[in-house]
Amino acid sequence: MAKLWAGRFSQDSSQLLDEFNASIFFDQKLWRQDIQGSKAHSEMLYEIGILSLEEKNQIHQGLDAIAQEIAEGKFKFKLSDEDIHMAIEGALIERIGEAGKKLHTARSRNDQVAVDFRMFVLQSNQAVIQKLCALIDTLLKIASNHTDTLMPGMTHLQHAQPINFAFHLVAWCCAFKRDVERLQASYQRNNFSPLGSGALAGVPYATNRESVAQKLGFFSPTLNAMDSVSDRDFALDMLYEIAMIMMHISRVAEELVLWSSYEFGFVSFSDEFSTGSSIMPQKKNPDVAELLRGKSGRAYGNLIGLLTVMKGLPLAYNKDTQEDKEGVFDSIQTALTCLEILNASLQDLKIHTDRMQKMVLVGHISATDLADFLVKECGIPFREAHHITGEVVAFAEKEGKDISQLKEEEILSIDHRIKRGVLKALDLKSSMNARDSLGGTSTHQTLHQIYTLQEWLKNMENTHG
């Protein structure tokens, strides 16, 4: 069958152009949205008197039959179809005849692709939110069992202050919560229907865009037809949000790689989520975490790719925007897969609390508490207290001990102003629990943080189902 747009052409397009121009072999992913949009559009055409009830019913029955064929893998996508919109419309015309030819009244492929792609992105937005919430739930369940588990908190990858393991996991949760909130904000910003904008300037029919938008689940129609067909901000929002998610996943993965090494030994991946070496039989590699870390690169690339496509485009629609979809499809699938496998691998993660306990005795991580004790209990100015604490650390180093393992008499011998009771300040669990300010690492504050996030999750479940 001749191309649906070929009326003014006297020659067939070259095979080379057909291959270069076609998007059917990747945009066929939008078939559900295309059929959904076409059904809503035909309903509106019936409401304004362009289609008869019989024609509308024929179109719906034909679209349902095509949808079933595609779902069952029986529909044959051809290069000559060019894109998913022409493929479905052409198949509909072949199936039902004249009524099918009326479907494209009062719309263009420009607003058709805009609405299909926007619906796909918004639906994917909700799917990613669900995966993020599931991951946060898993982390909180693990955290609930470790609010007293000591581990070294780090800055510059150096032992800094004692924290509990749950506190560290809650920090991960806070980052993923922000990812959810970004997705929620962009959903609110972009949930407007471009269908009915026509090619760029609206259509010369008394259409009801509000009715179509409502049928498709949008808040309302977009405001300006020219902007509607050329806007891909919704896709860029999604790519940016996924890039942020993948950055957070990569940071988590990096810590999991470190923690699973012999040098740290804080965690072990189960055999189900580990791999071996082809030459070194003793190896158990954290390949899952390394792949999660590496996948961020492709997400960043997809974002930069579409930004580059869009940066110089004049209004309104340009064929360049055909390059908008593959990167978005890839990033969405990457995010969904990574969130799922990270969640699954964490559920089987072995946590070595004994090793964490051993490592908090490395690096004199209650030194800050000693300085604070000297200021608060001994009346020593902080700068002097800092110096005295350094002397205590140097003494402990010579003795081959952590400062928390020194005897009180040993500490008192460093400076006559140091008062008794200093050992309580150096106790690692006391040090951790002393940080009881809002947002701090104390067991009490960590439990409050876990509770707050659990309540937020419940609200998300009640809101989104």
Active site residues: 156, 277
d(CA 147, CA 76): 57
Vertex 234 angle, CA 230 and 240, to 5°: 125
- Greatest alpha-carbon span in the chain: 102
Phi, psi angles (nearest 5°) of residue 15: -60, -35
Cβ–Cβ under 8 Å, residues 289 and 349: no
Full DSSP string of 115-179: HHHHHHHHHHHHHHHHHHHHHHHHHHHHHHT-TT-EEEEEETTEEEEEEEHHHHHHHHHHHHHHH
**If you ran DSSP here, which 8-state letter would residue 275 be given?**
B
Distances (CA, A) of 5 to 1, 101, 202, 330: 11, 12, 19, 30
Full DSSP string of 333-387: HHHHHHHHHHHHHHHT-EE-HHHHHHHTTSS-TTHHHHHHHHHHTT---HHHHHH
Long-range contact set of residues 74-78: C-beta below 8 Å, sequence gap at least 24: 77/24, 77/25, 77/28, 78/24
Considering just the CA atoms, what is the radius of gyration of the chain in Å? 31
d(CA 426, CA 403): 7
b/e map 31-53, b = 16+ CB within 10 Å = bebbbbbbbbbbbbbbeeebbee
Tally DSSP H helices, then E strands, for the chain. Answer: 21, 6
Distances (CA, A) of 281 to 157, 271, 278, 431: 30, 14, 7, 42
Tell which residue, 388, 322, 256, 255, has the closest CA to residue 82: 322
d(CA 460, CA 233): 25
Tell which residue, 191, 123, 177, has the closest CA to residue 328: 123
Phi, psi angles (nearest 5°) of residue 351: -110, 120
CA quadruple 279, 281, 283, 287: dihedral sign: positive
d(CA 102, CA 185): 38
